[in-house]
Amino acid sequence: MLRRDFISFLAGALAASPRLGIAQTSSKFYRVGTLRPGPPLDEKSPHGAILLKKLEEHGYILGKNLVFETRGAGGKLGKLGEIVDNFKAKGVDVLVVGGFPTTLACKVANVPTVVYFGVGDPVATHLIDSLAHPGGNITGISDDAAALASKRLELIKQAVPKLRRVAMLWNKDDLGMTMRYDASASAARSLGVTVQPLGVREPNDFDGVFEAMDRDQPDAIFMVADALTTLNRKRVFDYAGSHHIPALYEYDVPNVHDGGLMSYGPDLNESMERAAGLTVRILAGARPADLPFEQPTYYKLVINLKTASATGIELPANFLALADEVIE
């Protein structure tokens, strides 16, 4: 075979196989970390497995040329800065994270970051310059909070046709989630629904939340997701169930799969797939500053009929027909 023919053949083979690329032609070990404000996102979790599979498809293989380290703050947000600094000291190539406080800690430390969910509006919170041109060390997946809030409130009203008052739970110390609450409250008021604002800052605040709802029971509950509310989700499930109050959550995992009644939000499997794609591009040399933020393309309504039956909550048949997934 002529030398130029061999070179052409080799170039074609490299282009044809997604597993052949810079990761397999380099002796470098790549370091990818994950960090969440709650529990860690490790290789045994569904989303951690999606991330590792995508990396492997592009030649970044755990134990061969990839170091994968996972950390979680366990709800202690004051530890996030220290954890990110530790990742930076170890020379992490990119962090895949969830939640606004985590992303803010990464911005402060100037570590290449891909956020896969829960960041809120990254422009409004000054994490990035714009969705098209982030301009710093952060890229990832975002969504249209205002449009999503309107859809969620419309769904609550379909689930509870006589809806007059909705209680909204959110972490007042989380700027991203406070802005999501504001969008949701605005959407509720536009539908003629009164909002019962129930902001929390620590686990003990949930006792006051339940006492407030005892005094003035809402027709429905909406919980904005962050580490604090998610770590206390089962307390909300129990209260809503024992008082026969329909509750909507932002994500099916872990909320509806752990016993919450219903959720509407982006498919986090898809979000992680796309975040993993951005991670691959950064490992190959792209800068987060040049990678536009993306938005989910698939949103789903998930209903836990087992919870509805156990708590005596009846949902209209036309609402149930809208579900993308029903847990029985």
The string of pLDDT tens digits covering residues 67-101 is: 999 999 988 889 999 999 999 999 999 999 998 99
Place of tokens 């604002």: 197
- The whole domain housing 78 covers 22-142+268-290
Q: Please, which pLDDT band fits residue 26 given cuts at 50, 70 and 90?
A: low
Q: How is 160-215 classified by DSSP, letter by letter?
A: STT--EEEEEEETT-HHHHHHHHHHHHHHHHTTPEEEEEEESSTTHHHHHHHHHHH
In this structure, the answer to whether residues 312 and 228 fall within a common structural domain is yes
Whole-number average pLDDT of the chain: 90
Q: What is the DSSP letter of 28?
A: P
What is the predicted pLDDT for the residue at 22? 52
pLDDT for residue 13 is more than 60: no
Rounded Cα distance between 115 and 99, Å, is: 8
**Please, are residues 270 and 291 in contact by the beta-carbon 8 Å criterion?**
no
Query: How many domains, the chain?
Result: 2
Rounded to an integer, the average pLDDT of 296-301 is 92
pLDDT digits (tens, 9 = 90+) for 210-259: 999 999 999 999 999 888 999 999 999 999 999 999 999 999 988 899 99
Rounded to an integer, the average pLDDT of 280-287 is 97
pLDDT digits (tens, 9 = 90+) for 120-146: 889 988 999 999 999 999 999 998 777
Rounded to an integer, the average pLDDT of 296-313 is 93
CA dihedral 49, 35, 74, 260 (to 10 degrees): -50
Domain presence at residue 1: no
**Residue 123, SS3 per DSSP:** coil
Rounded to an integer, the average pLDDT of 51-80 is 94
In this structure, the answer to whether residues 169 and 314 fall within a common structural domain is yes
CA dihedral 153, 159, 163, 167 (to 10 degrees): -60
pLDDT for residue 103 is more than 60: yes
Rounded to an integer, the average pLDDT of 311-326 is 93
Domain presence at residue 9: no
In this structure, the answer to whether residues 162 and 173 fall within a common structural domain is yes
Domain presence at residue 15: no
Q: Please, which pLDDT band fits residue 147 given cuts at 50, 70 and 90?
A: confident
In this structure, the answer to whether residues 68 and 138 fall within a common structural domain is yes
In this structure, the answer to whether residues 149 and 102 fall within a common structural domain is no
In this structure, the answer to whether residues 124 and 174 fall within a common structural domain is no
In this structure, the answer to whether residues 262 and 272 fall within a common structural domain is no
Residue 9: how many other CB atoms lie within 10 Å: 11
Amino acid of residue 250: E
- Tokens representing 190 are 């536009």
**Residue 310, SS3 per DSSP:** helix
Rounded Cα distance between 106 and 156, Å, is: 35
CATH number of the structural domain spanning residue 223: 3.40.50.2300
pLDDT over 90, % of the chain = 75
Rounded to an integer, the average pLDDT of 37-44 is 89
Q: Please, which pLDDT band fits residue 60 given cuts at 50, 70 and 90?
A: very high
In this structure, the answer to whether residues 190 and 214 fall within a common structural domain is yes
Amino acid of residue 23: A
Q: How is 242-300 classified by DSSP, letter by letter?
A: HTT--EEES-TTTTGGGT-SEEEEE-HHHHHHHHHHHHHHHHTT--GGGS--B--S-EE
What is the predicted pLDDT for the residue at 193? 95
Helix (H) or strand (E) holding 64: none
pLDDT for residue 5 is more than 90: no
What is the predicted pLDDT for the residue at 16? 40
Q: What is the DSSP letter of 1?
A: -
What is the predicted pLDDT for the residue at 6? 39
Q: For the packed helices 145-159 and 175-190, what is the interaxial angle rounded to 10 degrees?
A: 50
Q: Please, which pLDDT band fits residue 35 given cuts at 50, 70 and 90?
A: very high
pLDDT digits (tens, 9 = 90+) for 151-161: 999 999 999 99
Rounded Cα distance between 115 and 96, Å, is: 6
**Please, are residues 34 and 46 in contact by the beta-carbon 8 Å criterion?**
no
Domain presence at residue 226: yes
Q: Please, which pLDDT band fits residue 23 given cuts at 50, 70 and 90?
A: low
State how far the alpha carbon of 2 is from the alpha carbons of 5, 6, 7, 14, 222, in Å: 5, 6, 9, 19, 69
Q: Which residues contact 211 (CB under 8 A, 6 or more apart)?
A: none
Q: Which residues contact 294 (CB under 8 A, 6 or more apart)?
A: 140, 141, 142, 274, 278
